[in-house]
Amino acid sequence: MVHEEGDVKSNPSQQQSISTHSEVAQSAGIGVEVQGLVKRYGTLVALDHVSFNVKAGELFALLGPNGAGKTTLLHILCTILSPDEGRALIAGADVVQQALRARRRLGVVFQEPSLDDRLTVYENLEFHGLVYGVPAALRRKRIDEMLHVVELSDWRERLVRTLSVGMKRRLEIARALIHDSRVLFLDEPTVGLDAQSRARIWRYLHDLRQQRDLTLIVTTHYIEEVEQADRVAIIDQGKLLAIDTPLALKSAHGHEVLEVSPINAEVRAHILAEYQNKIVKTSEDQLTLKVEDGRFIEHFLSIYGSQVRAMTRIEPSLESVFLSLTGRAIRDQEASARERTLAFGKQGGEHTR
């Protein structure tokens, strides 16, 4: 059902330039290229000239609060939404000009569940394999392999509606890898799962990366999850604010903090007055001070060392990176549940096939 040719035939000159481009991209080990993407919903600019590359084999995280434009970006990269400006290539295939070719190279786990509840685990995978034209023997092999990876082999004949939320997520990951996907997109794959299920999903992703030559692009608004990514892109209000390794982001934009618990209210007031411009957070018994220079801690200790009950030095976090890039904590920016429901409603019905 999926045809490799045909989607580019209408414009031979473009096909020429695109295949040349894709050869360059492949030789440079580029998995995904995004150039100047713009997407508007009416007057709202959901993506504002977003450009970046993801290397083949990379674990790449897109971090941003709800409403940042992550799902919109992923939908464009998965060929189900067209950009207003700019272009994107998946393993060398243009998502607009060569949509079918791009689609064969990517797998996707949507933010919203997209399994058929009335079919069994096996049937969901089988149907996906059929749609993507995976030959029968290979299909059966991949289904067995993937069920094993996500620990659902014992559940293959069960109806999907009897599965837990976490199991459904695992099945969606398995499904995305039944065809020859080289790039796997996961849109908030762990949202709404308990800590154990979240850890499990991440374990599978790491295992899969070792087993297959896979590029992973994961969106999340959980800061703690992006620490394990090779690189992180921080996106807010449709704009890409920074992109680098977690370590480099922290050293460029993050800062260390010192949490201190003054022995009494008088000391607390002294510290507050003396370090006005360093205070980043206050609570009744604790003050958090920004550390810009290692000597600050020595200096603080020499004055207040005997007047604090406890003191903790905290390494720069990605939370502090987001704060210094946007002036807000990532959690302050979360849209209300109602806003999110409305946004999903509008996107309802979109599908890969």
Task: State the residues that interact with ligand ADP by CB under 6 A.
Answer: 41, 44, 46, 64, 66-72, 343, 346-347
Q: Of 297 and 343, which CB lies nearer to ligand ADP in the complex structure?
A: 343
Q: Which stretch binds Mg ion (CB under 5 A): 70-78, 178-186, 192-200, 270-278?
A: 70-78
Q: Is 320 in the site for Mg ion (CB under 5 A)?
A: no
Instruction: Report how far residue 287's alpha carbon sits from residue 269's, in angstroms, rounded to the nearest whole number.
Output: 10
Q: Is 71 in the site for Mg ion (CB under 5 A)?
A: yes
Q: Of 108 and 150, which CB lies nearer to ligand ADP in the complex structure?
A: 108
Q: Is 97 in the site for Mg ion (CB under 5 A)?
A: no
In the complex, minimum distance from the CB of residue 64 to ligand ADP, in angstroms, rounded to a whole number? 5
Instruction: List the x/- string, 111-150, binding to Mg ion by CB under 5 A.
Output: x---------------------------------------
Q: Is 98 in the site for Mg ion (CB under 5 A)?
A: no
Residue type for position 302: S
Q: φ and ψ at 97, to 5 degrees? A: -70, -30
Q: Which does 41 bind (CB under 5 to 8 A by kind): Mg ion, ligand ADP, none?
A: ligand ADP
Instruction: List the x/- string, 242-261, binding to Mg ion by CB under 5 A.
Output: --------------------
Q: Which does 146 bind (CB under 5 to 8 A by kind): Mg ion, ligand ADP, none?
A: none
**Do 37 and 49 form a contact (C-beta atoms < 8 A)?**
yes
Q: Which stretch binds Mg ion (CB under 5 A): 24-32, 62-70, 245-253, 321-329?
A: 62-70
Residue 215, CA distances (Å) to 103, 175, 188, 242, 313 in order: 14, 16, 16, 20, 36
Q: Of 31 and 67, which CB lies nearer to ligand ADP in the complex structure?
A: 67
Q: Of 186 and 323, which CB lies nearer to Mg ion in the complex structure?
A: 186
Q: For residue 153, give both structure tokens.
A: 């082999």
Q: Which does 69 bind (CB under 5 to 8 A by kind): Mg ion, ligand ADP, none?
A: ligand ADP
Q: For residue 338, give both structure tokens.
A: 């109602």
Q: Which does 343 bind (CB under 5 to 8 A by kind): Mg ion, ligand ADP, none?
A: ligand ADP
Instruction: Report how far residue 299's alpha carbon sits from residue 149's, in angstroms, rounded to the nearest whole number.
Output: 53
* Cα dihedral value 128, 134, 140, 141, nearest 10: -120
90-93 long-range contacts (CB < 8 A, ≥24 apart) are 90/31, 90/32, 90/183, 91/22, 91/25, 91/26, 91/31, 91/32, 91/56, 91/182, 91/183, 91/215, 92/18, 92/19, 92/21, 92/22, 92/23, 92/25, 92/26, 92/30, 93/18, 93/22
Q: Is 181 in the site for Mg ion (CB under 5 A)?
A: no
Residue 137, CA distances (Å) to 141, 148, 188, 221 in order: 6, 17, 32, 39
In the complex, minimum distance from the CB of residue 95 to ligand ADP, in angstroms, rounded to a whole number? 16
